[in-house]
């Protein structure tokens, strides 16, 4: 059987057009399993697979075992059930993206959006005439005036185009359907309204997925049925290219040849990714296809378009090689370098200039990084997980270990999300160094410290590292100028401190909070974080005297105001009431008396009856719990003070 070589395969030397410039692409005929370029090999175009490198360094038996395992997983491909499960997960992800990213109500149409602006005017014509006329004069659109439409109209027109492609296919106008899909894919080259781009991406890739499904079903039908419709034989559930008849392979090759002839890089990439699963009909081990597409995406000049192209590759590759992670790691590394170039100013863009624009850009691509990292760790058993950790530089048993992928802060965040709590716990020291070194605009560093804290509370680290871990965190967090970030991190690590009975560290945390509040003051949003910390301490300890005697605890209570102060004070009295705790200490008694006075004075004409009854009950219960050890005179004096102070409460009278 003659081997099939794709016209855009990495075995050829040629040029790729991108943004008006031509880039020479050189590559060898053989490759390792996937990924990044080493400096020494970059000119040769040799792929270095981060998952195969540890194999070569491992003992022969271990390396062969892992290589065999990974190869088997790649050859198996994705079953129909797995594809359906992946599609369901993708739909949920897209829905969350649509909710997260919103933009202005109107969209300015550029020349690349001619298929949108002309869709109404072209109604009434046949599908073939309507779209072939548009292809006759590609320069005509640039001469027309810019149009502005609503976002709802834009979305509606794209959904109409999805229906038109399906209709054209059903009418056997497959060339028209392909050409229409090309024009739809071209929309993704327009990043003039960046806030709308995630929504545009979702709508366009829905159309790409429609085309991919239609092509897959057609080729599979060619493999299973005669032209007359008679069943030849159904393909096995986990079929390979050896099970596919020659006619079906020829049809499949024809589709890839058609797509390879598309002149523009971005539509060519998207169309091939749309039918990526079809490589299963003609390739036994299609890993090199995803490697090549990863390299081709490097030719997309716009960083936003480049990011979402990588997202779509990560999605469609699930249907072809769901267990392969190498090309995704390479893609993540490529984009990290591109992202850093954008934010350092080394790469000029149309709209990423000011700090606010950079923050917006970071927010737009967050979902891309989240999904890619999620796919990297998908299907990762314990053995494969170990090699992935090595690639990301998270190994403590190798003093010479280097980090091959230098993650952005947002990348670190979603990496931590994917790691089991036990892994984070055992490698906490290394992970904290990773968090400390990844400080950029993509995500606040405090979010990563919080996430590690949650994982450590879920699974405690080895005893000998517990104090060192907390010390490393507090050393960094104490330097935060933003009190809100400080409180967000400390809020999590208070749980860690309480779980591991670190009294000295708790006093240090309270001291840092008190000092910070004295320097900067505190606003309403920060009060919420402070309230959370205080309530954790109240719930943790039974003895109210111990709580109030903690260093700086009373100082922190003094900075509270408004409804937050009332809420905290009520919880303190609720605590002693539920525990039926006798108040003997005079200092504690005086502090609780002042707390009760604040609650009494908070009652006014706007206070609800339920609130009045609750406060009255709590203050009354406090008075009842005070104990003077037989000193009747002192007890009587205390009751007189209570009657004078809490005069508005009938129960006290």
Q: So what's the pLDDT on residue 339?
A: 84
The whole-angstrom separation of Cα 200 and Cα 188 is 7
128 vs 219, higher pLDDT? 219
Residue 359 pLDDT: 85
Decide which of 399 and 547 is more confident.
Answer: 547
Per-residue confidence at 218, pLDDT binned at 50, 70, 90? Answer: very high
Residue 49's pLDDT band, with cuts at 50, 70 and 90, is very low
Provide the pLDDT for residue 578: 93
Identify the weakest region by mean pLDDT among 102-116, 215-229, 260-274: 102-116
Task: Give 224: exposed, middle or buried? Use CB within 10 Å, 0-12, 13-18, 19+.
Answer: middle
Amino acid 301: pLDDT:
87
pLDDT band at residue 236 under the 50/70/90 scheme: confident
Lowest mean pLDDT among 107-111, 322-326, 374-378, 617-621: 107-111
Dump pLDDT digits (tens) for 440-481: 888 999 999 999 999 999 999 999 999 999 999 999 999 999
Tokens (6 digits) for 322? 């769901």
Rounded percentage of the chain residues whose pLDDT exceeds 70: 78
Q: Which residue has the higher pLDDT, 62 or 564?
A: 564
Segment 523-549 mean pLDDT: 94
Categorize the per-residue pLDDT at 113 as very low, low, confident or very high, splitting at 50, 70 and 90: low
In this prediction, residues 76-88 reach a mean pLDDT of 77
Q: Residue 101 has what pLDDT? A: 85
pLDDT over threshold 80, residue 490: yes
Tell me the CA end-to-end span of the chain in Å, nearest whole number: 101
Say how many C-beta atoms besides its own lie within 10 A of residue 494's C-beta. 22
Average pLDDT of every residue of the chain:
82
Task: Say whether pLDDT at 61 is over 80.
Answer: no
The confidence score (pLDDT) of residue 340 equals 82
Q: How confident is the model at residue 183 (pLDDT cuts 50, 70, 90)?
A: very high
Q: How far apart are CA 391 and CA 53, in angstroms?
A: 9
Pick from 442, 444, 446, 416: which is nearest to 363 by CA?
442
Which one has a higher pLDDT value, 391 or 543? Answer: 543
Lowest-confidence region among 44-53, 273-282, 554-563: 44-53
Q: What is the mean pLDDT of residues 532-555?
A: 94
Residue 559, phi then psi, degrees to nearest 5: -85, -10
* Tokens at 114, concatenated: 């001619």
pLDDT of 351 higher than 70: no
Residue 422 to residue 418: CA distance in whole angstroms: 12
pLDDT in tens, 145-175: 456 778 888 888 999 999 999 999 999 999 9
Give Cα separations from 556 to 489, 495, 512, 513, 586 (angstroms): 17, 18, 11, 8, 20
When pLDDT is averaged across residues 494-501 and rounded to a whole number, the result is 95
Rounded average pLDDT over 203-210: 96
Residue 128 has pLDDT above 60, yes or no: no
- Alpha-carbon distance values, 301 to 18, 82, 352, 361, 463 (Å): 7, 34, 14, 15, 50
* pLDDT the model gives residue 402: 52
Please state the length of the chain: 653
Pairwise CA distance, residues 612 & 619, whole Å: 11
Query: Residues near 116 by Cβ (< 8 Å), separated by ≥ 6?
Result: 109, 149, 154, 157, 158, 187
Q: What is the pLDDT of residue 42?
A: 39
Lowest-confidence region among 348-357, 365-374, 563-572, 581-590: 348-357
Mean pLDDT of 605-632: 90
- Residues in Cβ contact with 415 at an 8 Å cutoff, skipping those fewer than 6 apart: 373, 392, 407
pLDDT at 47 over 50: no
Instruction: Pick the closest to residue 166 from 156, 151, 150, 180 (CA basis).
Output: 180
pTM assigned to the model: 0.80
Candidate from 40-54, 440-454, 595-609, 628-642 with smallest mean pLDDT = 40-54
User: What is the mean pLDDT of the segment spanning 313-340?
Assistant: 90
pLDDT of residue 19: 39
Among the listed residues 39, 69, 26, the one whose alpha carbon sits nearest the alpha carbon of residue 51: 69
Q: Residue 609: how many CB atoms within 10 A of its CB?
A: 7
5 three-state secondary structure? coil
- What mean pLDDT comes out for the span 42-59? 41
C-alpha 294/C-alpha 15 separation (Å) is 16
Averaged pLDDT for residues 28-55: 38
Residue 356 confidence (pLDDT): 76
Task: Find the mean pLDDT for residues 593-606.
Answer: 92
- Bridge-partner residues for 440, per DSSP? 443
For residue 425, CA distances in Å to 453, 459, 467, 600 come to 10, 6, 13, 47
């Amino acid at each position: 059987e003659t081997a099939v070589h794709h016209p855009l395969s990495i075995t050829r030397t040629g040029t790729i057009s991108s943004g008006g410039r031509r880039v020479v692409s050189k590559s060898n005929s053989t490759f390792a399993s996937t990924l990044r370029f080493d400096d020494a090999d970059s000119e040769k175009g040799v792929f270095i697979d981060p998952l195969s490198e540890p194999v070569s360094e491992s003992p022969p038996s271990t390396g062969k075992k892992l290589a065999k395992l990974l190869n088997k997983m790649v050859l198996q491909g994705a079953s129909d059930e797995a594809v359906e499960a992946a599609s369901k997960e993708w739909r949920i992800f897209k829905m969350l993206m649509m909710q997260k990213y919103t933009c202005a109500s109107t969209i300015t149409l550029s020349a690349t959006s001619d298929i949108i602006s002309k869709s109404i005017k072209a109604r009434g014509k046949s599908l073939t005439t309507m779209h072939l006329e548009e292809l006759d004069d590609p320069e005509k659109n640039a001469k027309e005036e810019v149009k502005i439409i609503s976002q709802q109209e834009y979305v509606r027109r794209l959904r109409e185009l999805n229906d038109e492609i399906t209709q054209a296919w059903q009418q056997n106008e497959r060339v028209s359907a392909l050409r229409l899909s090309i024009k739809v894919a071209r929309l993704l080259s327009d990043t003039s309204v960046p806030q709308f781009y995630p929504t545009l991406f979702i709508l366009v890739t829905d159309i790409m997925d429609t085309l991919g499904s239609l092509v897959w079903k057609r080729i599979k039908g060619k493999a299973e049925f005669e032209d007359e419709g008679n069943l030849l034989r159904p393909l096995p559930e986990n079929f390979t290219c050896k099970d596919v008849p020659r006619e079906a392979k020829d049809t499949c090759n024809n589709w890839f040849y058609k797509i390879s002839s598309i002149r523009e890089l971005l539509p060519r990439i998207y169309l091939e990714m749309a039918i990526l699963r079809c490589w299963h009909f003609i390739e036994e081990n299609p890993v090199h296809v995803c490697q090549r597409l990863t390299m081709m995406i490097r030719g997309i000049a716009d960083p936003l378009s480049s990011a979402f192209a990588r997202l779509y590759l990560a999605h469609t590759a699930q249907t072809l090689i769901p267990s392969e992670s190498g090309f995704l790691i390479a893609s993540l590394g490529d984009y990290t370098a591109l992202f850093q170039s954008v934010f350092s100013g080394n790469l000029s863009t149309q709209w990423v200039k000011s700090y606010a624009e950079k923050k917006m850009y970071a927010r737009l691509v967050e979902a891309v990084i989240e999904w890619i990292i999620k796919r990297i760790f998908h299907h990762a058993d314990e053995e494969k997980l170990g090699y992935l950790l090595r690639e990301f530089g998270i190994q403590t048993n190798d003093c010479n270990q280097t980090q091959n992928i230098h993650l952005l802060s947002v990348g670190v965040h979603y990496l931590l999300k994917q790691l089991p709590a036990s892994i984070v716990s055992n490698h906490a020291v290394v992970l904290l160094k990773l968090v400390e070194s990844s400080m950029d605009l993509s995500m606040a560093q405090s979010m990563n410290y919080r996430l590690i804290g949650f994982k450590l509370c879920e699974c405690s680290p080895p005893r000998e590292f517990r104090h060192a871990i907390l010390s490393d965190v507090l050393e960094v967090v104490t330097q935060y100028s933003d009190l809100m970030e400080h409180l967000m991190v400390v809020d999590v690590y208070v749980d860690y401190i309480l779980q591991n009975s670190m009294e000295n560290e708790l006093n240090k945390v309270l001291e840092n909070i008190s000092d910070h509040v004295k320097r900067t003051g505190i606003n309403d949003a920060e009060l919420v974080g402070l309230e959370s910390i205080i309530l954790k301490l109240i719930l943790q300890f039974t003895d109210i005297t111990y709580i109030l005697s903690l260093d700086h605890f009373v100082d922190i209570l003094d900075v509270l105001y408004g409804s937050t102060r009332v809420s905290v004070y009520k919880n303190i009295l609720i605590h002693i009431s539920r525990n039926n705790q006798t108040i003997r200490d005079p200092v504690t008694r005086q502090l609780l008396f002042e707390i009760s006075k604040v609650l009494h004075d908070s009652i006014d004409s706007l206070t609800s009856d339920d609130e009045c009854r609750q406060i009255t009950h709590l203050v009354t219960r406090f008075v009842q719990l005070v104990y003077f050890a037989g000193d009747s005179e002192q007890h009587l004096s205390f009751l007189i003070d209570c009657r004078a102070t809490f005069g508005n409460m009938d129960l006290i009278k």
